[in-house]
């Protein structure tokens, strides 16, 4: 039922992790780079900080939840079909300038 990467990011900047628009653009770009099609994107900016972005894809979903005050984010890139979700993970790791991350792969 697809390829699912669970990516935990640490030591990221507060500003990046709290920028809702930036994170929407990043997730949509990562989905497209993985070969997926974005059907709909929703997001929520929490108070006093923190952002969630979720893209519903034709091929499953991609999501990010951030804790800017701790420099942490949890990302899921889950796709079925011929996509390569690892490409999206690599883009997110690079663009959030994470100094430390864990990446787990699960075949669904």
**Which residues are known to be catalytic?**
60, 65, 80
CA end-to-end span of the chain: 5
**CB of 64: closest distance to a second copy in angstroms?**
10
Q: Which residues pair with 60 in a beta bridge?
A: 57, 79
Asked if 97 and 15 count as a contact pair (C-beta separation under 8 A), the reply is: no
Tokens of 61: 């979903």
The distance of closest approach from Cβ of residue 79 to a second copy in the complex, given in angstroms and rounded to an integer, is 10
- Would you say 70 or 90 has its CB closer to a second copy? 70
Query: Under rule CB under 8 A, which residues in 49-78 are in contact with a second copy?
Result: 52, 54, 56, 58, 60-61, 63, 65, 67, 72, 74, 76, 78
């Amino acid at each position: 039922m697809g390829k699912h990467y669970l990516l935990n990011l640490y030591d990221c900047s507060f500003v990046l992790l709290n920028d809702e628009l930036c994170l929407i653009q990043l997730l949509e770009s990562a989905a497209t780079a993985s070969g997926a099609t974005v059907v709909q994107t929703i997001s929520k900016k929490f108070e006093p900080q923190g952002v969630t972005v979720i893209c519903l894809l034709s091929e499953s979903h991609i999501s990010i939840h951030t804790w800017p005050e701790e420099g942490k984010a949890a990302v899921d890139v889950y796709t079925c079909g011929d996509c390569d979700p690892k490409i999206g993970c690599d883009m997110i790791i690079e663009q959030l300038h994470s100094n430390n991350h864990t990446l787990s792969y699960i075949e669904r």
